[in-house]
Structure 1
Amino acid sequence: MTTIRTAAVIGSGVMGSGIAAHLANVGIPVLLLDMVPKQLLPQEEAAGLTLENPKVRNRFAVSAIDKLKKTNPAPLYSDSFASRITSGNLEDDLAKLGSVDWIIEVVVENLQIKQQLFSRIETVWKAGTIVTSNTSGISINAMVENAGSEFKKHFLGTHFFNPPRYMKLLEVIPGEQTDPAIIAFMTDFCEKKLGKGVVQAKDTPNFIGNRIGTYGLLVTLREMLANEYSVEEVDAVTGPAMGRPKSATFRTLDLVGLDTFVHVANNVYDLVTDPVEKEVFNTPEIMRVMVEKGWIGEKQGQGFYKKVKTEAGKEIQALNLETMEYAASRKISSSSLEASKQAKGTPAKLKALLGAKDRYSDLAWNILKPVLIYSAEKLGEIADSIVEIDNALKWGFNWELGPFETWDAIGLKRSVERMEAEGSTVPAWVKEWIAAGYDSFYQNREGRTFYYLKNEYRGLETRPELISLQALKQQNKVIRSNSGASLIDIGDGVACLEFHSPNNAIGADILTMIQQSADEVRSNYRGLVVANEGKNFCVGANVMLLLMEAQDGEWDEVDGIIRLFQNSMMKLKGLEKPVVAAPHRMTLGGGVEACMPADQIIYSSETYFGLVEVGVGLIPAGGGCKELAMRASQHIADPEVDLQPLINHVFETIAMAKVSTSGHDTKRLGYMRAQDTVVINPDHRIYEAKQAVLRMEQAGYSLQPQEKFRVVGENGKAVMQIAAYTMRQGGYISDHDLLIANKLAHVLAGGNVPAGTLVTEQYMLDLEREAFLSLCGEPKTQQRMQYMLSKGKALRN
């Protein structure tokens, strides 16, 4: 097996269609099969269809594909990718399974049904085809116990987490007879092609992520009931205060669905034999009652929380588990929660929370302690290494730290002493490790990570595609640095410009480093990568600084900031060495403009890219308007061909602050050029950017000279302004929106010049700066800026 070119997914429910969508996302044509319906729908009867009609027989798969385009969050990178999925059914199309490279089973979690399905698949199976199950906990070996030995060699579990596009974790579960070469191939394929974080789990109930994660949620619920904590109190503690998602415990359960959670917990309860462990997985009566009432979470409109309409608007209400009544959700505060909030980084947050010694500190400790002990007890049973367990919880449940990383963060030796003093039994191997003189499960030596494995430290595998800027900084690879950015040597003569200001917002420090980096790379390096490891690539310029200067009337200062931004972008664009930008996640406003000078952009698949300055009452002034206007002109080389439609599209994109829904979606908005690409695995983007720099340099890179480009001029401006005026007359935009739109139209049109006039980049930058400065002086723009800073969302005034 060298590659997977085609695939089939059996089962078109939420999970099956989601997996099919993600395969389509990465360019793999998929056959989506389901059962044949047993009866007609009223609309099918009205249309004169019969049960023999292909539209009816393929209904489940057809309906699932249609839903993909309407689902939010979107399972597809682009709606057009749905065309890569073909619908079918298990009676008419079973034989087609013999022509695909990968068959994925995603049917109901019932062992007997799965066994029957795999028996049918084997009758048409082509030798060498990989077959996997997406089960979340049923035994991989039991599913194919009656299959032939060759089939078993090519069979394993591939457990995607939901939703498949967004969740990083994929558990690979080998069977007893799975060919090791198949395991290695699928691990590599799922990481590189599907962009997943792959962990290898053992064939035990619920594997790794759901085994530990479900245990942790049940422990939390029991602690809550035993000590009378409210839903809001538990979520206040088990969210960001502990390095967990904002959805914490009960919002997470509502999202997952209580019925689903109970099923997953019951799976362990039914299969484990240890009475103490079994009792933990015996779901509390309160949860079973909620399921019986249909209070199973968001899909039914209520669970531990529900939204209700009030006279003031929508209100979030929380369930009181004593009265089984809902009341307005309360905001919880305490000294321990505040201490955690003020601390920087998850280790510091945990220490602050646990060290405060109040009611919420006790809750955190009493739910953390059993999870750490249980994780240690299961090492060797559910996975061979602590790394697999830690990664499963980080990638599958969005924990900042896995259980063993958490243990290190709070102090291994000290916490074990406390556990034993409180009567808990800590696994012997943990105590032996401490007795041998070790005080952590992980060590960092000169940027390389070592971890506990069978009573010794083992170095974590180093792979060229996993470039860590953090590790390189620990290895003294920093070339230059200031408070907002660093230039780092990433090897082979390539440097990387990393932003690290708060939220990676662009201020004078980053702009200064951009200029210094251009000088450094020009003299001493083969090329430059612009990338970072922040939560988001860049949320834009430093709005706070701009607002302060504008409110003080320091217009020369504002003008200076904009000139510095523009000059920095042009210096980056004028660098005589290849420049590649590798943005990820939120890349907005100035973040987009920092990517635009690059010779190539390598988008992470999850890149949300857009010029959103109108949200704070401004227009792009760091070259964003100029670049898009210039690209439109360059796209149509014939001066006789009308440029207006392309400029109208640019105008609409900026004026409506449109943001891409993925890296691929940047093409729809007009940001992606022919040379730009998308990398599926975000962990590989810096490596891929570096390789792109090297390819350009080796091919004999030469800087493209600046050339004048044509604009639509005064007549084209009028077209855009009429469109904006029509929007205002229709009540779709405000007077201030219209003012902004008119200034944007002026810039994109190239000002008051005749249509077809050739202009320079600097001319367009001057137009941007003038419009930007005038808008900064508008009180309503300053109100928008203030609102964004305080509320984190746009004000429409």
Structure 2
Amino acid sequence: MNKLIVKKAAVLGAGVMGAQIAAHLANAGVPVVLFDLPAKEGDKNGIVRKALDGLKKLDPAPLASKAKLKFIDAANYDEHLPLLAGCDLIIEAIAERMDWKNDLYAKIAPHLSSTAIVASNTSGLSMNALAQGLPEAIRPRFCGIHFFNPPRYMHLVEIIGTQSTDAATLDALETWLTSRLGKGVIRALDTPNFVANRIGVFSILAVMHHTQAFGLGFDTVDALTGPKIGRPKSATYRTADVVGLDTLAHVVKTMQDTLPDDPWHAYFTAPLWLKALIEKGALGQKTRCGIFRKQGREIQVLDLAAQDYRTSAGEVAEEVAAILKIRHPAEKFAALRASAHPQAQFLWAIFRDVFHYCAVQLENVADNARDLDFAMRWGFGWAQGPFETWQAAGWREIAQAVAADIAAGKSMASVPLPAWVGEADREGVHTPAGSWSARGQRYVGRSQLPVYQRQLFPESVLGDGAVRPEQSGETLYENDGVRLWRLPTVDAGIGIISIKSKMHTIGDEVLEGVIHAVGQAESSLDGVVVWHEAPFAVGANLAQVTEAIAAGQFNLLERTVEKFQRASQTLKYAQVPVVAAVQGMALGGGCEFVMHAGKRVLALESYIGLVEAGVGLIPAGGGCKEFAVRAAEWAAQSATPGEVFNFLQPVFQTIAMAKVAKSAEEAIEFGFAKPSDTILFNANELLWVAIREARAMADAGYAPPPLARAIPVAGRTGIATFEMMLVNMKEGGMISAHDYKVAKSAAIALCGGEVEGGSLVDEEWLITVERRLFVELLKDPMTQARIKHMLDTGKPLRN
């Protein structure tokens, strides 16, 4: 397989998808030329420049850092087509019109490199038909590459080969997309809407059909079809609003026009109410009005009976809520089928018809059941794919129930289930041997491309027998909070510290475990990686803190804080390299552990921050100390060594405002990580890379940093300057009196306490200052109220 090297890419079309695909390429450090039509007036690149300006305003942000915008150049088709000759990957992302795409292909063809891969981001047009618009010499390097919106965050990319596409091209592209852009790649068949949209849009149509059949409100349906059944918070109708009602209708129309023989074809049409909304220009979120709308602070939902909007309520009936809480899937589905409540019958109906559709269409839409399930998880955010859900609920029982409903005329289509569904020995479609391929009538194993060897614990599907991390490797030490283990087949000399607590909160047992595990690694290993599946750690165990406060055990709490600081210092000054492998949230104490590691390997989607101010506290696991030390180091490299205050200002704002870096790039900008740290786009590669980083550090003769001494601090002068700013904010009503107290405590800790500016202190002094201030805040009833509110609601209290 030839390795794909993308030194420069081009994206054709600066619409919503094109601009965001360009942004994600830029996130990966790939220079991009973003093309669109020449503007009719003024700057010919005006259309693209407007799109680039828009990238800076979108939320969630398409750019991991606004600095990444420098990787994108604006271009237009009139003046800049020769630039394509220097591009290794060209992604076409213009409107879903075959004639427009063919016209564009004719324009670009003379300018393409003889080795460039050309891909269309079409969401459903025939790739074989599109290939006919290109010269024969280009067709082996042409394929579909379907990103999901928003491209930075949605894991799924479908790649679609044509009859002419070279197999090595697809392998190279899959490898590059997986590792460089961090995507989950599915090889989709060249069928209308491919895999995820075909199943996902059918699912939406099934929900729409049964919403009307059972007389339910849109808000009630969203309450039923969100997290309660393992779907995203946006559920069904809010998702439609976010996607755009016109976009949804377009995808449905594609199915209607291109799938005349589909047994469910009668349902491939937008409901009359949806067409009416589109005609009125109520397209959803982009027009601020669709199925839902916001009036002031009130969320309203369209009421079809009243032909008007009403306050959104969306309540799930107690009987149905109780059924959805049943943990065993087979019992839950049996209860849904047995219940006479319309909400329960609705839920069974939408599951039944999706199961039915997936079983019948599997051979037409996907190579195997695993690809279909991953497509729905990665592209639509389902916790489980439809086949996983079916298998978990009891394959035979569900198959019999679906077949009975088909025979009784209750299902949306009368076509029988395929024969393979009812085979006598079948317990599901996912097995340790592979996942069922209806096309091949066999079980298909996972891809053997070398890139997947970097994923030591790849995402699995229910029933595939994959061994999870906690069941793997050789345990070297374990307590209630931490496991130290290793993977001898990967590197017997590198240990792995995994936190075991819920959400990886850091309590006393975790602190004890980390200190012991690092000590053992120093005596018997070459290095250690701190890794477990996301989140990395959401901070201190507030439940333990609350119990100690209630008992008045402030001496105990101070000892725990001291132990926390010792654990952080243990990570920093270990005699072997400590590498933190981070994905998801690393908040509060989790962030402090990250900051104290010898090196960090960060997934791009890492959300790192010192958020203690949100519960009325300051960082005291060494976080304030570490920033004071770093400010001194930054100052030492500046034109004014010893003058640390200017370097503390952005740090103070970060801590006082509990700011969280929303990417690994931002984590470096905020100072939580360092420019020398490694950023990976595929979180499944974290452990593999981190082990190798630790090995390289050990082999290079790693030694811990020297103990920080003679650290210049800002002292009273710095505290006074920060206090002036806080006084103005308090008097202006921007912060409360307790916010003031918390922020001033942070200022004192960062400035090294009440000493003269420029005083030289050591780390022990700094951690003593932050610990004293932390315990004082713990004794404050206002802080205690904030902690309780966070535990009760998961949200910060502004008191």
1:286-685 mapped onto 2 (5 Å cutoff):
286-309=273-296, 314-335=297-318, 337-339=320-322, 342=325, 358-423=341-406, 425-431=415-421, 434-435=423-424, 437-444=425-432, 450-453=434-437, 454-461=440-447, 463-468=452-457, 471-475=468-472, 477-490=474-487, 491-493=490-492, 494-534=494-534, 536-637=535-636, 640-685=641-686
Give the 3-state SS of the residue equivalent to 1:464 in structure 2.
Answer: helix
d(CA) in 1 for partners of 2:782 and 2:20? 44
Paired AA for residue 464 in structure 1: Q
d(CA) in 1 for partners of 2:393 and 2:139? 44
Calculate the TM-score normalised by the size of structure 2: 0.92
1:739 is matched with which residue? 741
Please point out which of 229, 235, 238 is paired with 1:242: 229
**How far 1:255 moved relative to its partner?**
0.6
2:462 is matched with which residue? none
Give the 3-state SS of the residue equivalent to 1:580 in structure 2.
Answer: strand
**How far 1:28 moved relative to its partner?**
0.8
**How far 1:616 moved relative to its partner?**
0.7
CA contact (8 A) 1:243 1:350 kept: no
d(CA) in 2 for partners of 1:163 and 1:609? 21
d(CA) in 2 for partners of 1:644 and 1:519? 36
2:178 is matched with which residue? 191
CA contact (8 A) 2:330 2:394 kept: no
Give the 3-state SS of the residue equivalent to 1:422 in structure 2.
Answer: helix
Give the 3-state SS of the residue equivalent to 2:636 in structure 1.
Answer: coil
d(CA) in 2 for partners of 1:92 and 1:10? 14
Q: Which runs of 5+ in 2 are unaligned?
A: 408-414, 459-466
**How far 1:360 moved relative to its partner?**
2.6
Fraction of identical pairs, as percent = 36
d(CA) in 2 for partners of 1:747 and 1:170? 47
CA contact (8 A) 1:336 1:352 kept: no
**How far 1:775 moved relative to its partner?**
0.5
CA spacing shift, 1:343–1:565, aligned 2, 3 Å: farther
d(CA) in 2 for partners of 1:746 and 1:568? 23
CA spacing shift, 1:502–1:357, aligned 2, 3 Å: farther
d(CA) in 1 for partners of 2:626 and 2:384? 41
CA contact (8 A) 1:156 1:173 kept: yes
CA contact (8 A) 2:528 2:576 kept: yes
Give the 3-state SS of the residue equivalent to 2:269 in structure 1.
Answer: coil
Paired AA for residue 440 in structure 1: G
1:94-243 mapped onto 2 (5 Å cutoff):
94-243=81-230
Give the 3-state SS of the residue equivalent to 2:596 in structure 1.
Answer: coil
**How far 1:337 moved relative to its partner?**
4.4
CA contact (8 A) 1:336 1:360 kept: no
Q: Which runs of 5+ in 1 are unaligned?
A: 41-52
Paired AA for residue 718 in structure 2: G
Give the 3-state SS of the residue equivalent to 2:189 in structure 1.
Answer: coil
CA contact (8 A) 1:245 1:399 kept: yes
**How far 1:404 moved relative to its partner?**
1.5
Give the 3-state SS of the residue equivalent to 2:702 in structure 1.
Answer: coil
**How far 1:637 moved relative to its partner?**
3.0
**How far 1:115 moved relative to its partner?**
0.8
Map Cα deviations across residues 156-181 of structure 1 (whole Å, 9 max, x no partner). Answer: 11011011111111110111101111
Paired AA for residue 71 in structure 2: R
Give the 3-state SS of the residue equivalent to 1:306 in structure 2.
Answer: strand
Map Cα deviations across residues 397-425 of structure 1 (whole Å, 9 max, x no partner). Answer: 00111121111111111110111122355
CA contact (8 A) 1:141 1:176 kept: yes
CA spacing shift, 1:188–1:475, aligned 2, 3 Å: same
User: Are residues 1:725 and 2:727 paired?
Assistant: yes
User: Are residues 1:768 and 2:770 paired?
Assistant: yes
CA spacing shift, 1:718–1:66, aligned 2, 3 Å: same
Give the 3-state SS of the residue equivalent to 1:451 in structure 2.
Answer: strand
d(CA) in 2 for partners of 1:386 and 1:281? 23
d(CA) in 2 for partners of 1:426 and 1:530? 51
**How far 1:375 moved relative to its partner?**
1.5
CA contact (8 A) 1:241 1:349 kept: no
**How far 1:747 moved relative to its partner?**
1.2
Paired AA for residue 247 in structure 1: S
Task: Name the Cα RMSD after superposition.
Answer: 2.2
**How far 1:481 moved relative to its partner?**
4.0
Give the 3-state SS of the residue equivalent to 1:216 in structure 2.
Answer: helix
CA spacing shift, 1:336–1:477, aligned 2, 3 Å: farther
CA contact (8 A) 2:298 2:311 kept: yes
CA contact (8 A) 2:12 2:92 kept: yes
CA contact (8 A) 1:173 1:200 kept: yes
d(CA) in 1 for partners of 2:83 and 2:562? 62
CA spacing shift, 1:419–1:348, aligned 2, 3 Å: closer
CA contact (8 A) 1:335 1:356 kept: no
The size of the alignment, in residue pairs, is: 771
d(CA) in 2 for partners of 1:662 and 1:629? 23
User: Are residues 1:691 and 2:692 paired?
Assistant: yes
**How far 1:6 moved relative to its partner?**
0.3
d(CA) in 1 for partners of 2:783 and 2:331? 38
**How far 1:676 moved relative to its partner?**
1.4
Map Cα deviations across residues 530-583 of structure 1 (whole Å, 9 max, x no partner). Answer: 12213x222211223223322432212221321222222222223221111122
Paired AA for residue 496 in structure 1: I
1:747-762 mapped onto 2 (5 Å cutoff):
747-762=749-764
d(CA) in 2 for partners of 1:339 and 1:528? 45
CA spacing shift, 1:674–1:105, aligned 2, 3 Å: closer
Paired AA for residue 156 in structure 2: L
d(CA) in 2 for partners of 1:237 and 1:670? 42
Map Cα deviations across residues 216-260 of structure 1 (whole Å, 9 max, x no partner). Answer: 100110011111111122112211121111111111111111110
Give the 3-state SS of the residue equivalent to 1:322 in structure 2.
Answer: coil
d(CA) in 2 for partners of 1:683 and 1:416? 34
